[in-house]
Amino acid sequence: MMLEGIMTDNVVTADAASFLSIANKSRNEIESVKFEPPKIGGKGFGYFRVRMKTRHYEAQ
């Protein structure tokens, strides 16, 4: 099995669980974090926009 990787920009959108994982693994790579609150009547609990210091690869 071969995975394909892509180079992403340095902004990651994450839910709370994903944000905690990123913060634990890559704390030194985080430049800034902005919480986007949920929309009234919408689904979900909001999300985090995490700006990383460098770009990174993601496997698909």
pLDDT per position as a tens digit, 21-43: 999 998 999 999 999 999 998 88
Cα 41 from chain centre: 24
Q: Per-residue confidence at 50, pLDDT binned at 50, 70, 90?
A: very high
Running DSSP on this structure, what letter comes out for residue 19?
H
Residue type, 46: G
- Spatial neighbors of 25 by CB under 8 A, at least 6 apart, are none
Please state, rounded to an integer, the average pLDDT across all residues of the chain. Answer: 87
Q: How far apart are CA 44 and CA 8, in angstroms?
A: 24
The structure tokens listed for 48 are 């985090």
Residue 6 has what pLDDT?
73
Angle of CA points 31, 35, 40, to nearest 5°: 165
